[in-house]
Chain A
């Protein structure tokens, strides 16, 4: 049995999902030979520490850790003080300066801890530096959950399609935009109407600009370009057009000719813009789904689709990353 001590930093929607999933999957993981022990959970109010594993039933009902924290340590202080093998970083994304996630990841990697994250900000701002820091310290930095949520993309390219030359990846990487465009086309309603509907359903933030202006999609384009295409680019290298200018009339004209309009991120084209996608195309998915077409030399075009967001779904991608760190060549063997 391989014992792994995990500290979780960030206790929002995804953080709750991680605690839930680690608890739910305890038995399955043990059967694989992996004993994942959540030794600490930290948020902006404090930290819960438990050497034998945090009791999920005691914290899952709490929105923040304010009432259950056993220590006042936060952020980097907690990361430095707590003995763990791996940190899960799920604090809110900031695509401009990457903080606080960037500082958390630097602290963890420098201390020789593996890092698994769903936080795009630090990777968009500082991917190559973080990658080098991980290599220098002999640990891994895994971030499948940052692009397409639970939809397998990074591991699919890095592992399953290894040996192929990847010409490019194009897809729908933002469920909020996809929901809005889908509803506009279905109901012939204006953008503002579809946006309020998405906000009512919790698919869009009160300030939706991050999604609808294409910022979120562009962040994912940066991550894919740097991680899978070694491009070493910055956010400003991506040409971004959001969906706010798309009209129901444009969608109707496109529909009549057999096209959907989708916000498409393109690597290595480094563009994010609304595009016409043939209705029959496997990437033309509706609702909040994400999709990606991977263009390869040997396997042709591979298309994946899945839920791009959600608490449990994102935690699922995080769990897969954790297991992959401890897997050796044989699926059932843990080193």
Chain B
């Protein structure tokens, strides 16, 4: 599971190492670390955002260990939608219950439609929709696309997906 956490570190040497130790001890794989030195808090601490891949059940232990080391945990564990994908749908997008199409993605819990534009040239003509979907990870993006593909077959919509930048 991919998780993010916002921490605040004191502005003295060795603090980042202190924050990393509990992550290492609990076998968290660090995906990214952003050190916001320019956004120093009024308390004089430095915000740091971690995105890690780890067992969700260990999050409380990590938080406890961080606190014990004097690191402030502002927020931890909430899933973040860190991946996004664009899709274009063509067909009777609205008549085939666009609300339902969106709900199929939103109800997954791991993905949601965050942007939607619709163009309807005429009553009997096919309409076109642009959707931006965000999800908690790359695998979840693929799952959301699979759902859309199935919806496309069911509702006779042409689903235009983005080409992958890398070989899958």
In the bound assembly, the distance between CA atoms of A273 and B126 in angstroms comes to: 18
Q: A253-B119, A276-B86, A276-B162 are in contact. Are A247 and B130 (CB under 8 A)?
A: no
In the bound assembly, the distance between CA atoms of A262 and B163 in angstroms comes to: 9
User: Could you say which residues of chain A place their CB within 8 Å of the CB of B163?
Assistant: 170, 262, 264, 275-277, 281, 283
User: Count of B residues near A, CB < 8 Å?
Assistant: 25
Which residues of A are in contact with B by a Cβ distance under 8 Å? 167-168, 170, 241, 245-247, 249-250, 252-254, 256-257, 259, 261-262, 264, 269, 273-278, 281, 283, 295, 301
A274, A276, A277, most chain B CB atoms within 10 A: A276
B167-A276 in contact (CB<8A): no
User: Could you say which residues of chain A place their CB within 8 Å of the CB of B91?
Assistant: 245
User: Could you say which residues of chain A place their CB within 8 Å of the CB of B166?
Assistant: 295, 301
Residue of B nearest to A275 (CB): B163
CB distance from A199 to the nearest CB of B (A): 23
Residue of A nearest to B85 (CB): A276
User: Could you say which residues of chain B place their CB within 8 Å of the CB of A167?
Assistant: 167
B160-A254 in contact (CB<8A): yes
Q: Which single member of A245, A252, A274 contacts B119 (CB below 8 Å)?
A: A252
Interface string of B156-168 (1 = CB under 8 A from A): 0010111111111
Q: A167-B167, A245-B90 are in contact. Are A253 and B130 (CB under 8 A)?
A: yes
User: Could you say which residues of chain A place their CB within 8 Å of the CB of B125?
Assistant: 247
Count contacts between A and B, CB distance < 8 Å: 78
B90-A275 in contact (CB<8A): no
Which residues of B are in contact with A by a Cβ distance under 8 Å? 86-88, 90-91, 117, 119, 121, 125-130, 132, 158, 160-168
A247-B162 in contact (CB<8A): no
B88, B128, B132, most chain A CB atoms within 10 A: B88
In the bound assembly, the distance between CA atoms of A275 and B125 in angstroms comes to: 21
Interchain residue pairs with CB less than 8 A apart (22): A168-B168, A241-B158, A245-B91, A245-B126, A246-B90, A247-B121, A249-B90, A249-B121, A250-B90, A250-B158, A252-B119, A253-B130, A254-B88, A256-B130, A273-B160, A275-B160, A276-B86, A276-B160, A276-B161, A276-B162, A281-B163, A301-B166
